[in-house]
Structure 1
Amino acid sequence: MANKEIVDRDTYKKIKKMNREELTKFILQYGDELLGSEGKTIDLHALEAELSKIKGIGGKRLEEIMTVIEKFLEE
């Protein structure tokens, strides 16, 4: 793997000066940006189809599960 610059020098200097709380906030924000840039998505219809194959999960329970999943994806 080629040596690729992930953090530029200015960002590195800012990170060195951060306390634990600032660093945690920075890492979480940076991680969210990375995931967003990769375009990771969940196909809800495919997920619902797979969940419906599980023995013991009926239509009503599946609707409840999908509601919870959609709520977490909105956050």
Structure 2
Amino acid sequence: MPNKPLLDRALYKKIKAMDRETMDNFIHNIYQTGKDDVHATEVDFDKLREDISKIKGIGESRLNEIMAVIESHIGADSE
């Protein structure tokens, strides 16, 4: 069964007739809806560090390297 298009003819005509302020509000509402739908998971870095340190062969130096990589990827998104 094909998906219904997000932009049907009626919505296209409505968008085409919008002024700048209405279009700005419309786009903001779409963005906010998407943002609200995202289910972000918080990461407990102390617990993560503790769990990784239990892996055989992971010393303090390697653990610090791993945590730095994780924080560079996850930490950038949460700020």
Q: TM-score range by the shorter chain?
A: 0.5 to 0.7
Please say if 1:30 is aligned against 2:21: no
Counterpart AA for 2:7: K
* Cα deviation, residue 30, structure 1: 2.5
Q: State the number of aligned residues.
A: 50
**Could you tell me which residue of structure 2 aligns to residue 50 of structure 1?**
51
- Scaled by the length of structure 2, the TM-score of the pair is 0.51
Dislocated runs of 4+, deviation >3 Å: none
Q: Report which of the two structures shows the higher radius of gyration computed on alpha carbons.
A: 2
Aligned to 1:16: 7
User: Normalized against structure 1, the TM-score is what?
Assistant: 0.53
Is residue 2:64 matched to residue 1:63? yes
3-state DSSP class of the match of 2:70? Answer: helix
> Which SS does the other structure have where 1:48 is aligned?
helix
SS of the equivalent of 1:62 reads: helix
Give, as a single letter, the amino acid of the residue that structure 1 aligns with 2:44. Answer: D
- TM-superposed CA distance for 1:35, in Å, is 1.8
* Gap runs ≥5 in structure 2: 9-29
Fraction of identical pairs, as percent:
36
